[in-house]
Amino acid sequence: MAKKTVAGYRDQSSKDGRSHTKVIKMVKSPKTGAYTFKEEMVPNEAVKDYFAK
């Protein structure tokens, strides 16, 4: 018996999941000098502002 994908159970008329974007920013640690990655979910309109900081 075939399995359905998780996306198949989602209501296709709802577009709420597409209003946010996952952004990943590389940040240098002041203590060790090593780089870490900071991940956040931000609204699509705020993506450019997030990277401008």
Q: 10-53: per-residue pLDDT in tens?
A: 555 556 658 999 999 999 999 999 999 999 999 999 999 998 87
Residue 18: the pLDDT is: 84
In the prediction, which pLDDT does 37 show? 95
pLDDT for position 30: 92
Angle at 25 between CA 43 and CA 32, to 5 degrees: 145
- pTM, two decimal places: 0.56
Residue 22's pLDDT is what?
Answer: 94
Instruction: Enumerate helices (H) and strands (E) in the chain, giving the number of each.
Output: 1, 2
Q: Please check whether residue 39 is in contact with residue 23, taking contact to mean a CB–CB distance below 8 angstroms.
A: yes
Residue 51: closest CA among 29, 16, 21, 17: 21
